[in-house]
Amino acid sequence: MSQRPAPSIETSNRIFTLPNVISLLRLLGVPLFLYLLLVPEHDVAAVIVLAIGGSTDWVDGYLARRMNSVSRLGELLDPFADRLYILATLVGFTLREVVPWWLTGALLMREVVLGVSLVVLRRHGFGPPPVHYVGKTGTFLLLAAFPIILLAKAVPGWSEWAYPVGWGLAWWALGLYWAAAVLYLIQTVRLLRSDRPGPEAAQP
């Protein structure tokens, strides 16, 4: 008996969908997190906001697929919210000396490399390469590591377990983050090579 192909998920132009609302709420949590971390330095409250933002990373995408409400806006909001959370956390943590500057530099340099690759692809008429599961896993681990690292600072009694767990996740995430960058660079090179004219097309 032949199996029926799985139904494809169509991308719509809808704006007001539940997954998009969740993504927007995640974005609103970024300035709240920075305020709690940097102004009154309410670290426990900042941990809660950061943990909610990180734990809901997969919710919007999951609901979009389950409810067949994948939208073009959602495809932009989800990765944008992830990157904004990571960038805001790195800036806040570096200013508060929660993480060393070299970790911030290593993660930001990865974003610079990908940004340059995207610019090169756009100049040749290509869109961004598809998101790789290695990169998504690295993002998930980073969003899990950050609140645990902050928790180690906010509650000294928990630092005995929170510090090694948080930094273990952070090191793992950093490795996956750069592994994903290498994969994206390989995809970029392949796309650019495929865009080159062959020997016959190059002849006048």
| Residue 202: pLDDT over 80 | no
The whole-number pLDDT of residue 135 equals 86
Q: Dig out the tokens for 136 from the structure.
A: 């998504």
Give 124's pLDDT tier (boundaries 50, 70, 90): confident
SS3 letters for 144-198?
HHHHHHHHHHHCHHHHHHHHHHHHHHHHHHHHHHHHHHHHHHHHHHHHHHHCCCC
Domain at 18-194: CATH code: 1.20.120.1760
Question: pLDDT at position 195, please?
Answer: 67
Q: Say which residue, 171 or 52, is predicted with more confidence.
A: 171
Place of tokens 């943990």: 51
- Whether the per-residue pLDDT at 74 is higher than 80: the answer is no
Q: What is the mean pLDDT of residues 53-61?
A: 73
Tokens of 147: 């609140």
pTM given for the model: 0.76
Stretch 61-87: mean pLDDT: 73
DSSP code string of 24-50: HHHHHHHHHHHHHHHSS--HHHHHHHH
Q: Binning pLDDT at 50, 70 and 90, where does residue 6 land?
A: very low
Give yes or no for residue 39 having a pLDDT over 70: yes
Q: Find out whether 88 and 37 touch, Cβ atoms under 8 Å.
A: no
Q: Which residue has the higher pLDDT, 75 or 6?
A: 75
Under DSSP, the state recorded for 82 is H
* pLDDT reading at 171 higher than 60: yes
Query: Taking 50 as the threshold, does the pLDDT of residue 1 lie above it?
Result: no
Of 40-49, 78-87, 122-131, which has the strongest mean pLDDT?
Answer: 40-49
Tell me, what's the pLDDT at 186? 92
pLDDT of 166 reads: 95
Q: Could you state, in order of their start, the residue ranges of all structural domains in the chain?
A: 18-194
Supply the pLDDT for residue 69.
63
Place of tokens 């495809």: 75
DSSP for residue 71: B
Picking from 186, 188, 52, the residue whose alpha carbon sits closest to that of residue 117 is: 188
> Cβ contacts of residue 107 below 8 Å, gap of 6+?
86, 90, 142, 174, 177
State the average pLDDT for the chain.
82
- What distance in Å separates the CA atoms of residue 203 and residue 201, rounded to the nearest whole number? 6
Beta bridge partners of 12: 71
